[in-house]
Each structure stands twice: as structure tokens, then as C-alpha cells.
Amino acid sequence: MEGFRALNMPRGATVMSEAVYDLHMFVLTICIIIGIVVFGVMAYSIYAHRKSRGVVPAKFSHSNALEVVWTVVPFAILLVMAVPAVRTLLALEDTSAAEMTVKVTGYQWFWEYEYMDGDAEGVAFYSSLDRRSDRARGLRSDLSPREVDNYLREVDNPLVLPTDTRIRFLLTSNDVIHSWWVPEFGWKKDTIPGFINEAWVEIKEPGTYRGACAELCGRDHAFMPVVVVAKEPEDYRQWVAGRSDTSDHGATVAGREREEP
């Protein structure tokens, strides 16, 4: 059973990812039933009306009743699937009633996170590939990728968010098109220069959720992972209290610029 589940899409860790998963399973079930019915009828027809049994083909060109049935039935099935699909899509794009807002800006090749309001208002920092992964990816590195935990999937500064909180994301870019993607959240959004995309998330369980840029954005596209650490609200407030504010915001970029070849 576990092997079968591995072939399916994950249920995710947010309210909307669960809604997307439920919609996926609903539509998949309908498709499986249609497949069983259609191929069942085909198999029966091939077996029961084969030439070796002396079956004589019917002599008609069309049937008005049958044409009405196979037009109306698929239309009704599409309506049954369309209603929950539209409801889910509308909910996915509805960023109203957010309890806090985080701005995400894509750069070549790292992310900037800014907490726009809430307990962490004013906190901002850059998030880039962690130094051990960056070191191990070199051709003549003395550090093997096998020695690095979460190789190419770890960052120096993860985005920290509270659970059970409706969080709005404002996503943009400073240079080229990137795409911010965490599979367990159930969506991904392009970050486009001069344009703001919106999305929202409500994480149900604490944990570490990993993603990456999902839009080919240049030389180091493969080396700009996304890491989100979800904490219980009380733990999140403690994390906010432990931040020194934005004093380390510029240091990370300066350090990166010095390391660029």
C-alpha cells in the first residue's frame, strides 16, 4: 500500500493542498469508473459479438437516442467535475482575510523574505544555498555531496512561519522570472519583475518543508532551494523575539557578492 501511495501526488501540509488532493482523488475516481465501464463494454462486445460465434453485424447508420445519450452523459460528468474544480481554484486565489503577509523576491540566485506585518513586521533577510552544499557542488571540492545532509536542498536562512495562520504571499522578482515552489503547499507561483503575484497558505503541522525555484532562471537555477520551517504560534513568537531585527539583511548579500566568481 505504501508503494502505491508513492505513485500518487502527496496530500500536502496545508488547507489548500488537502483540498487540491481531495479534488484530484474525486476526478481520478470518476476517470477510473469511466475507464472500467468503457473498456468493460468494449471487452464484452469483442467477446460476445465475435465472428466465430456467427454474429451478423447490424444494418443501421446511426441512432438518435444513442447520440443524445453519449452527448448528455459526458456533459453531465464534466459539470460534476467542474463545480468542485472551480470552487477549489477560486479558494486557491482568494488571499483575503490573511492574518499576516510575507513578501518574496527572487534574485539570481537566492530569495529575499520580508515580513510586512504581524509579530515579525520589519524583519527581512536573504535565503541562499547553504555553504556546505555550495562547497560540495564544486568540481574539485574536498567535500563530497554524500557528506552533506539535504544536499542542494538546504539554505542558510529558512523562512519561518506559524502554523494555523492564514498567510498571504506577495511574490515578485528583481531580475528575471523565477518560480517559488514548495510541493507540500499545493501551489507554485512565478515571481515576475515589475509584477506582484499573490498566494496564500495555512500550514496545519509544524515541520520543515523543502522546495525550489521551478522556473529556469539562469546559470545557478538549480542552486536556489526554498526551505520553510513551520512552528507552533508560541514557538514562532519566540523566534521573532530572538531576531535582532534586520541588522543582518545586507551582510548576507555582501558576503555572496564577495564569493561570486
What is the chain's mean pLDDT, rounded? Answer: 89
CA distance 79 to 74: 9
Q: What CATH number was assigned to the domain covering residues 2-93?
A: 1.10.287.90
Span 100-259 CATH architecture: Sandwich (2.60)
163 phi and psi, to 5 degrees?
-80, 165
DSSP 159-175: EEEESS--EEEEEEESS
Per-residue pLDDT for 255 more than 60? no
Can you give the pLDDT at residue 64? 87
Domain boundaries, the chain: 2-93, 100-259
State pLDDT tens for residues 119-137: 889 999 999 999 999 898 8
Name, in order, each residue with C-beta under 8 angstroms of 114's C-beta and a sequence gap of 6 or more: 102, 103, 105, 123, 124
Q: What is the pLDDT of residue 252?
A: 47
The mean per-residue pLDDT over the stretch 188-200 comes to 96
pTM, two decimal places? 0.81
